[in-house]
Structure 1
């Protein structure tokens, strides 16, 4: 893993500590000269980008459609998505292309139905997708209005599937180890069962989360998540197996509602909870997906964590220490208020960063490079 020495040096010289821009970490001088290109358009709330080995992209859209993007041309994938319940924040969400796609042609999606959030594995044949694991995993909680029904997937360095879930705006869910909501799950990509070595002997890897929107895995295996806060404190967290991340809007079961005035990470109630690596303070940005910038083409930005923001309509660039701390935060002007709400983030096989907009009409996939 390369350390971002050059970028960190700029931060030290700048000496900026703006709380508004940097949250709980110092702000860095914005990198100059990022190039932003539109590689696909005409989409509706694209949630994710999954790269096929030949460079084509599968792009799931929240209303219940999958686009196949080939050199700018967008084709609808023929797939039975009739049970997708697109309401509120929920619908067709994350997508992961299997590492053996060359031979298996498989990918997995996560979406809301009328009763739950579930993972389904598909086989792609041309522009047609057929379900082959239906479901790979079912029973993730969902809310009738779709609130906090998020689902973000990523493969860890062992090929296990990490799944970040929302708490469905129910106060007891995040701390309940009998529920799959408000958690990060770690499961076998082929069977949907809990992966070996999980801390509780089942599918749960971490708990006490509010609404995870992004999961990013560094080359050395470090996992960071991006998570929505209530009226304060969006968080970037470093995952620790078995960790409690301290969200408890039930106040230990003493309130029957959903008390969002509690701290995002309640260290008074849970002294052993894992503190956030970074928190936004106020205002929140509604941070979303996350991806590491990788490769020499990024120069001093190699190894930086890029995080999209919905409400903030920007990309935040986090300089991450070897141990997983946040050294500083920068906001490139090319991606601040220029394309509206930004949701998906994925490093492409060409080394570029791919970001999706989430404005609802004529949404785009953006390709971002360092000059």
Structure 2
């Protein structure tokens, strides 16, 4: 277990009237719903960042999508992990873990017995990201990301490795893989994970709404991290692997606000993230090793609070900051989960990056060029609104896309496929 617990800086009140107007899309007061809801876009639309080339024409037909409910009865389903027996695990933010018996309509859902009494369930915090270990068939291991409390007070965010019983009815906590991810009130807790092509665990974290954290390389918040899935050690080829500060050795990118989705591109192994903006500019980013993504609500330390009027990617203050490949613009969609589609059955969507939206209550399908920049954005009609807030997005072993709803009452696990 890697212990990196540090006293978390206290959040400070915003210092200017302008900042008060820039209310976050994911605030502690109103969850992810704060801010103006953008008008629905057409079923297919284009969007580029200032730095992106013009959209390229499509070469194949966009598929119509079919949606079926695999299972329901969840409360804020946060993530999905697929099991070799054809079932799945679903994390629920109010510190619950469920086993789904299959990936087909009418699957049974069983609450998994697990010691989750120390999970801090407040604001956006709780039981969040989940990855099933690649060797699960032998080890029965999976890892969760969860906010941790002691004596009723928030302490930090932790990555915890579990072992699932043979019958799927219970899970035993095996070890804390990494602790010390900052936590304040539960706001901006991150925390999505993916296993990369080298078997390393890649984690996207939030800045906990503390202004100094995103640009502080000695903090694990507002970053992407990369660590050994077995030992919890930072990977030896990380960009800051030789740093004196142990926390810095985990960092692969910084200057992030609140990473909610993370996905590995098939064929390239490149990491893409989906990130909440304040009241504007949600971002999709392609992660470059050691790079700064430009979020700095402390304005280089010149203000003591959390100024959400600053740009999501502040290239005036940080000229080398990496621009997003997509931004939502003047309003947020509160984007969340991310997954790449793969397979000829997806037609024009083969290789596209799918992003879920909470406030936007839709799927966004980002079609990318060979250089990783944006070609087009499509919004499938069948997933534009009828299921409410959409959170997790994971491509299943059967090639279907699995998405969770997070409306807070009778949430669902959805299976999305192209119509044949």
One of 173, 177, 183 as aligned partner of 1:142: 183
Cα distance in structure 1, aligned partners of 2:283 and 2:401: 21
Equivalences for 1:315-326 in 2 at 5 Å? 315-326=363-374
Partner-residue secondary structure (3-state), 1:288: strand
* 1:237 paired residue number: 285
Q: CA RMSD in A?
A: 1.7
* 1:354 paired residue number: 402
* 1:33 paired residue number: 64
Cα distance in structure 1, aligned partners of 2:208 and 2:238: 24
Verify: 1:24 aligned to 2:48, yes or no: yes
* 1:128 paired residue number: 170
Cα distance in structure 2, aligned partners of 1:312 and 1:237: 19
Verify: 1:182 aligned to 2:222, yes or no: yes
One of 98, 108, 111 as aligned partner of 2:143: 108
Cα distance in structure 2, aligned partners of 1:369 and 1:27: 25
Partner-residue secondary structure (3-state), 1:49: strand
* 2:22 paired residue number: none
**Offset at residue 129 of structure 1 (A):** 0.4
Q: Is the 8 A contact 1:288 1:310 kept in 2?
A: yes
Verify: 1:192 aligned to 2:232, yes or no: yes
Cα distance in structure 2, aligned partners of 1:262 and 1:328: 27
* 1:208 paired residue number: 255
Q: Which 5+ residue runs of structure 2 have no aligned equivalent?
A: 1-40, 50-54, 149-153, 242-248
Q: Which 5+ residue runs of structure 1 have no aligned equivalent?
A: 1-16
* 1:97 paired residue number: 132
Give me the TM-score of the superposition, normalised by structure 1.
Answer: 0.92
Cα distance in structure 1, aligned partners of 2:347 and 2:309: 42
Cα distance in structure 2, aligned partners of 1:350 and 1:203: 33
**Offset at residue 70 of structure 1 (A):** 0.6
Cα distance in structure 2, aligned partners of 1:53 and 1:296: 24
* 1:63 paired residue number: 94
**Offset at residue 296 of structure 1 (A):** 1.9
**Offset at residue 311 of structure 1 (A):** 0.4
Q: Is the 8 A contact 1:67 1:75 kept in 2?
A: yes
* 1:85 paired residue number: 120
**Offset at residue 297 of structure 1 (A):** 1.8
Cα distance in structure 2, aligned partners of 1:328 and 1:132: 44
Partner-residue secondary structure (3-state), 1:337: coil
* 2:192 paired residue number: 152
* 2:23 paired residue number: none
Verify: 1:221 aligned to 2:263, yes or no: no
Q: Is the 8 A contact 2:207 2:214 kept in 1?
A: yes
Q: Is the 8 A contact 1:27 1:329 kept in 2?
A: no
Cα distance in structure 2, aligned partners of 1:56 and 1:155: 19
Q: Is the 8 A contact 1:31 1:332 kept in 2?
A: no
Cα distance in structure 2, aligned partners of 1:22 and 1:299: 18
Change (3 A) 1:265 1:330: same
The aligned length equals 352
**Offset at residue 138 of structure 1 (A):** 0.4
**Offset at residue 23 of structure 1 (A):** 4.2
Cα distance in structure 2, aligned partners of 1:217 and 1:32: 22
* 1:12 paired residue number: none
Cα distance in structure 2, aligned partners of 1:32 and 1:324: 22
Cα distance in structure 1, aligned partners of 2:337 and 2:187: 17
Change (3 A) 1:27 1:116: farther
